[in-house]
Amino acid sequence: MEQIEENSTEENKKKNFEGWYNKNYKKFLILPAIILILSLAYLGYQYSHTGDFIQKDITLTGGTSVTIFIQDSEINLNELNSYISQKTNDFTIRELTDFRSGKQKAVVIDSKLSSQELKPILEDYLKYSLTEENSSTESTGSSLGESFYNQLRIAILISFIMMAIIVFIIFRTIVPSTAVVISAFADIIMTLALIDLMGIKVSSAGITAILMLVGYSVDTDIMLTTRLLKRHDNVNKRILEAFKTGLTMTLTSMAALITALLIITSFSEVLKQIFTILIIGLGFDIFNTWVTNTSLLKWYVEAQKK
């Protein structure tokens, strides 16, 4: 008897939630619309002040990267930062540490200065000469960095256009295909806005992560759209089944990326940036797939029934 009452209570809760969802799902589109508009506005502000939508590091702008290998004693990053800031304002400092011990292994200084300008500043602070044994220096010309950046932007644009074409070919209907493209577009725009707000200077590896995000952004959207259009049972039931599968897919990927980020964060800046951007992008993908895309598709399917 108690079991029957419990089952009845659960069934009533499901019906109440389903009724509430059916009544309010269109309102869910307000929040992602606001966030997308704010993201576009912020990127527009960024572009008007800097001439670009993102903050670029020296691999995209050109400059010098000097890696100092730690020998006898660790380098005080605050003191080094204060010393270099007296000579130039355009630089960044980061340290590489041993994963197990946390001991400082190297310090990396990036600047738009040439190696002939940057190395004497560092040698004055360190009180010894930088050689091939105790340091490494990498330089990128401004024209080369800008050319590479332009090529990557074109690659992202082409990949997004091709993705949109494939989606339209698969579903052959305007509204569902447009919903998938809008969700993928929102994922990328929101991710770019957030990494700008976080002050992340995007490298060539970061642009590659954004390129990867184009693919990551559509997998759950395509799975959701396929289930809603190909089957004809209860719409909410199809959404729930797709939600369980899609969320498992995305959270599994995020768990793997977070684990990798925690492991490599101390000794690989390139992988750290790639994983960070992908984790942010997947977070927005959960939001846009199960709020934006789901609401648009449910609206479309319900309209088709009528």
Most confident of 50-54, 70-74, 147-151, 173-177: 173-177
Range of the domain at 126: 63-140
Record the tokens describing residue 89, joined without a space. Answer: 């304002």
Long-range contacts, stretch 79-83, CB < 8 angstroms, 24+ apart: 79/125, 80/107, 80/109, 80/125, 83/121, 83/124, 83/125
Tell me the per-residue pLDDT of 10-69, one tens digit each, with 9 for 90 and over: 566 666 777 777 788 888 899 999 999 999 999 999 888 888 888 887 777 777 888 888
Residue 4 clears pLDDT 70, i.e. is over it: no
Sorting pLDDT into bands at 50, 70 and 90, what band is 281? very high
Indicate the residue among 107, 123, 140 that finishes a domain.
140
Within a domain: 5: no
Within a domain: 11: no
Amino acid 284: pLDDT: 94
Amino acid 267: pLDDT: 60
Amino acid 143: pLDDT: 66
Could you tell me if 164 and 181 are in contact, meaning their C-beta atoms sit under 8 angstroms apart?
yes
Within a domain: 9: no
More confident residue, 188 or 141: 188
Within a domain: 1: no
Report the alpha-carbon distance of residue 171 to residue 301 in Å, rounded. Answer: 14
Percent of the chain with pLDDT over 90: 16
Within a domain: 253: yes
Shared-domain flag, residues 174 and 96: no
Shared-domain flag, residues 203 and 261: yes
Residue 207 clears pLDDT 70, i.e. is over it: yes
Shared-domain flag, residues 152 and 40: yes
Q: In b/e form, how buried is each residue of 267-304, taking b as 16+ CB within 10 angstroms?
A: ebbebbbbbbbbbbbbbbbbbbbbbbbbbbbbebbeee
CATH classification at residue 109: 3.30.70
Sorting pLDDT into bands at 50, 70 and 90, what band is 190? very high
Within a domain: 18: no
Report the alpha-carbon distance of residue 288 to residue 8 in Å, rounded. Answer: 33
Record the tokens describing residue 214, joined without a space. Answer: 């184009």
Amino acid 99: pLDDT: 65
Report the alpha-carbon distance of residue 206 to residue 29 in Å, rounded. Answer: 29
Record the tokens describing residue 117, joined without a space. Answer: 């300008």
Within a domain: 35: yes
Indicate the residue among 98, 116, 140 that finishes a domain.
140
Closest CA to 303 of 25, 14, 3, 19: 25
Q: What is the DSSP letter of 70?
A: P
Tell me the per-residue pLDDT of 115-125, one tens digit each, with 9 for 90 and over: 888 888 888 88
Record the tokens describing residue 161, joined without a space. Answer: 């256009």
Residue 78 clears pLDDT 90, i.e. is over it: no
Averaged pLDDT for residues 267-285: 86
- In angstroms, the Cα distances linking 208 to 117, 152, 213 are 30, 8, 9
Tell me the per-residue pLDDT of 211-226, one tens digit each, with 9 for 90 and over: 888 888 888 888 888 8
More confident residue, 256 or 306: 256
Indicate the residue among 140, 168, 183 that finishes a domain.
140
